[in-house]
């Protein structure tokens, strides 16, 4: 079994919301504060209190920074030095460093500079150091082996800043969300902050729907604002997932065809997938009177047999469909967005007993990158796969 944390973000995400959800789900504030003090960064306090957001009780974590103290701007190298010199666990240091690196890369791209030139304003930097490191520490204290995140609502509208009026999500946040599933819920406000985006998109080993898991605890982290249309909370589910391959029953639907134009197979297969097929494939066969034919096989959940049969009767000349139930063993599979030499790319990742077995970049994205960069598809595929395997330690 493996410990999994799933962040459900109906109202967005920020650093304090993530910390609040982790505290609400069981991370002790004293233990969290004690670990953060190992950073050796002065001028901050962390408190937690219970609040209400709509009909939800939630935990609000506040990171207060002493704005009267003397502060200097810090670069990425300064922050990584702080992390490296701390007494935090190596795994915590490595992940927090990775999050800050992605933050700096996003800012550099947006402003047309380099990672080394990006400066974090000290007040914001202290807040971000505590938020980012606190999130990683909290997951470490929970014993999380994997983090999954729902699609993130991007929000909308405009905000007035030092550089004038800018659209939401802000440019830094938008850059961090590249390659990650997002939705528009219609709320005109900043729902995902740069820190929240950096934390969740970097930590996520799976994005989208909640994985199959046995839920043990649920926590709620509160945002600062009261949104008029939805409770401003982030939910955190903690549970266990089976590490072994799952055995399940599927239906195998088949028909044999010898009198259909090859051009009609593509729309037929498209309709089968729309009707609930899990997989569709064609097998060439020799039929009676030595006629060449094709066996069309579709796998689907047992309750979709009638739907697939109807499609076969409507879209092909067949007058008979056979089906049977079969057992199959399937490794747990998740979609993971990883950084590669060509930018963020979604990967299919499967595990066995908690160990990563396959790391496969989405081919459609690989083909798109190859076209845009005028590179051989095989070269982009090999590089992306190597980058993904290296990040996951395979």
4 phi and psi, to 5 degrees? -125, 140
Q: Which residues lie across from 7 on neighbouring strands? A: 149, 236
Q: What is the dihedral of CA 300, 305, 307, 310, to 10 degrees?
A: 120
Q: Which of 184, 216, 241 represents a domain boundary (last residue)?
A: 241
Pick from 210, 235, 231: nearest CA to 221: 235
Greater confidence (166 vs 26) lies with 26
pLDDT digits (tens, 9 = 90+) for 242-264: 555 556 788 999 999 999 999 99
**Six-digit token string for 212:** 């199959």
- DSSP bridge pairs for 343: 340
Total domains, the chain:
3
Of 286, 301, 330, the residue at which a domain comes to its end is 330
Inform me whether the pLDDT recorded for 123 exceeds 50. no
Average pLDDT over residues 100-118: 84
Domain stops at, among 330, 355, 377? 330
Q: Which domain holds residue 213?
A: 2-241
Mean pLDDT of 174-202: 88
Pair (192, 338) in one structural domain: no
More confident position, 5 or 185:
5
345 and 304 share one domain: no
Q: Is the pLDDT of residue 36 over 70?
A: yes
Same domain, residue pair 70 and 149? yes
Percent of the chain with pLDDT over 90: 50
- Residue 143: phi and psi, rounded to 5, are 75, 30
Ranking 20-34, 36-50, 102-116, 307-321 by mean pLDDT, the lowest is 102-116
């Amino acid at each position: 079994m493996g410990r999994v944390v799933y962040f459900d973000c109906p109202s967005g995400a920020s650093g304090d919301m993530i910390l609040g959800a982790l505290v609400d789900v069981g991370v002790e504030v004293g233990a969290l504060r004690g670990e953060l003090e190992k950073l050796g960064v002065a001028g901050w306090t962390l408190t937690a209190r219970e609040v209400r957001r709509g009909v939800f009780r939630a935990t609000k974590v506040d990171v207060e920074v002493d704005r009267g103290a003397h502060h200097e701007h810090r670069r990425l190298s300064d922050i990584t030095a702080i992390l490296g010199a701390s007494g935090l666990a190596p795994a915590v240091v490595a992940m927090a460093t990775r999050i800050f690196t992605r933050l700096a890369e996003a800012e550099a791209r947006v402003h047309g500079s380099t990672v080394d030139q990006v400066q974090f304003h000290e007040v914001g930097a202290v807040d971000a150091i505590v938020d980012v490191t606190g999130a990683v520490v909290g997951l470490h204290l929970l014993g999380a082996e994997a983090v999954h995140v729902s699609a993130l609502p991007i929000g909308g509208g405009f905000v007035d800043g030092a550089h004038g009026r800018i659209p939401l999500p802000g440019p830094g946040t938008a850059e961090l969300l590249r390659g990650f599933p997002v939705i528009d819920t219609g709320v005109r406000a900043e729902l995902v902050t740069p820190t929240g985006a950096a934390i969740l998109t970097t930590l996520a080993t799976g994005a989208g729907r909640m994985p199959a898991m046995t839920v043990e605890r649920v926590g709620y982290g509160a945002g600062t604002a009261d949104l008029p249309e939805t409770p401003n909370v982030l939910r955190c589910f903690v549970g266990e997932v089976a590490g072994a391959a799952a055995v399940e029953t599927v239906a195998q639907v088949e028909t044999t065809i010898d009198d259909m134009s090859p051009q009609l197979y593509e729309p037929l297969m498209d309709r089968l997938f729309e009707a609930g097929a899990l997989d569709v494939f064609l097998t060439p066969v020799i039929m009676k009177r030595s006629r060449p034919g094709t066996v069309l096989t579709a796998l689907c959940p047992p309750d979709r047999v009638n739907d697939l049969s109807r499609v076969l009767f409507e879209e092909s000349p067949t007058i008979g469909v056979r089906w049977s139930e079969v057992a199959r063993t399937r490794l747990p599979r998740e979609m993971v967005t990883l950084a590669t030499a060509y930018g963020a790319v979604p990967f299919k990742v499967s595990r066995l007993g908690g160990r990563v077995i396959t790391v496969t970049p989405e081919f459609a994205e690989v083909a798109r990158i190859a076209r845009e960069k005028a590179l051989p598809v095989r070269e982009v595929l090999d590089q992306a796969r190597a980058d993904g395997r290296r990040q996951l330690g395979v």
